[in-house]
Amino acid sequence: MKSAPPPVASPRETVALKLLVVLSRAAASVHGHVMADIATHGLTPAEFGVLEALHHKGPLLLGDLQRKILVSSGGITFLVDRLTAKGLVERKACPEDGRARYATLTRKGEALIARIFPTHAARVAEAVAGLTRTEQEQAIHLLRTLGRAADATLPENSE
């Protein structure tokens, strides 16, 4: 008689794998709610992220903007270049450090994000409406804790 094959993953690993799948699917569903709307404005999700960050935080050094929207240094340069070409963002010299550059919204960029952000916020609220406000706050806390713990275990050279 053949014995059963050994389990592929331990019970702990099985739960972790299920969490990853459920988290990924939920993120994709929520993301899908808002991405189609962003595209109707001629923006990619990353470009929208830049405009949103600058709208809420004001002018940001490119390195700070890069960390805020989670792209590489080359990626932020590319994004700011594209948004500059569209007339939505401009670079300004940093008065304290002539080598550093700020990204800031142009009037056109500010007008665009001010016009489209309320719809974006409403779509996000609609996408997460399956949870009560209390559950949403709990999810924020749990996912923030998960993210910090996962970041702490990354190898230092993983950037």
CATH number, domain containing residue 42:
1.10.10.10
pLDDT band at 1 (very low <50, low <70, confident <90, very high): low
> Does 56 fall in a domain?
yes
> Does 12 fall in a domain?
no
Looking at residue 157, its pLDDT comes to: 45
| Separation CA 151–CA 145 (nearest Å) | 10
pLDDT band at 121 (very low <50, low <70, confident <90, very high): very high
> Does 14 fall in a domain?
no
Fill in the amino acid letter for 142: L
> Does 18 fall in a domain?
no
Average pLDDT for residues 144-154, to the nearest whole number?
93
- Provide the b/e sequence for 95-120 (b: ≥16 CB within 10 Å): eeeeeebbbebbeebeebbeebeeeb
Over residues 74-106, the pLDDT tens digits come to 889 999 999 999 999 999 988 887 788 999 999
Over residues 26-52, the pLDDT tens digits come to 999 999 988 888 989 999 999 999 999
Range(s) of the domain holding residue 89:
26-152
Into how many domains does the chain fold? 1
> Does 19 fall in a domain?
no
> Does 21 fall in a domain?
no
- In this prediction the pTM is 0.80
> Does 65 fall in a domain?
yes
Mean confidence (pLDDT) of the chain: 91
pLDDT band at 120 (very low <50, low <70, confident <90, very high): very high
> Does 85 fall in a domain?
yes
